[in-house]
């Protein structure tokens, strides 16, 4: 069965970096794009962008350029989200989600809580 398993919660200091992983199983990893979604505490879902799992080419939503980096390791069917120069506003749950068709997020990871605090 299709599964997306994300890495565990992270506590980071302002200015640090964090790398969240999303390991896919149960399907052909390179046949579907991988998307990232942010949810700040008590807030709604924000689409961050996606990565082409064939080419590795990322596309970032407005507001997620510069400090955010999507990457892949297709040898282990894993997508990564790195956030640099963390600040308190980055505190959120980050989800990876497979796009099944077009903007159809049919499978989601369990979410990774990133907390930024001094």
Partner 1 sequence: QSALTQPRSVSGSPGQSVTISCTGTSSDVGGYNYVSWYQQHPGKAPKLMIYDVSKRPSGVPDRFSGSKSGNTASLAISGLQAEDEADYYCCSYAGIYSFFGTGTKVTVL
Q: How far apart are CA 41 and CA 57, in angstroms?
A: 29
Q: How far apart are CA 62 and CA 9, in angstroms?
A: 25
Which of 34, 37, 72, 83 lies at the binding interface for partner 1 (CB under 8 A)? 37
108 near partner 1 (CB under 8 A): yes
Which of 1, 65, 103, 118 lies at the binding interface for partner 1 (CB under 8 A)? 103
Which of 58, 82, 100, 115 lies at the binding interface for partner 1 (CB under 8 A)? 100
10 near partner 1 (CB under 8 A): no
Q: How far apart are CA 68 and CA 81, in angstroms?
A: 7
Quick check: helix, strand or coil at residue 76?
A: helix
46 near partner 1 (CB under 8 A): yes
Q: How far apart are CA 29 and CA 75, in angstroms?
A: 10
Name the site residues for partner 1 (rule: CB under 8 A): 35, 37, 44-47, 59, 61-62, 95, 97, 100-106, 108-111
């Amino acid at each position: 069965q299709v599964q997306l398993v994300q890495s565990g919660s992270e506590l980071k200091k302002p200015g640090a970096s964090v790398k969240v992983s999303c390991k896919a199983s149960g399907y052909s990893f390179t046949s579907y794009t991988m998307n990232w979604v942010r949810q700040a505490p008590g807030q709604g879902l924000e689409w961050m962008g996606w990565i082409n799992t064939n080419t590795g080419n990322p596309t970032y939503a407005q507001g997620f350029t510069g400090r955010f980096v999507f990457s892949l390791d297709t040898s282990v069917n894993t997508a990564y989200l790195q956030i640099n120069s963390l600040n308190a506003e980055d505190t959120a749950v980050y989800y990876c989600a497979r796009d099944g068709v077009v903007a159809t997020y049919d499978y989601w990871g369990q979410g990774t809580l990133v907390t930024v605090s001094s």
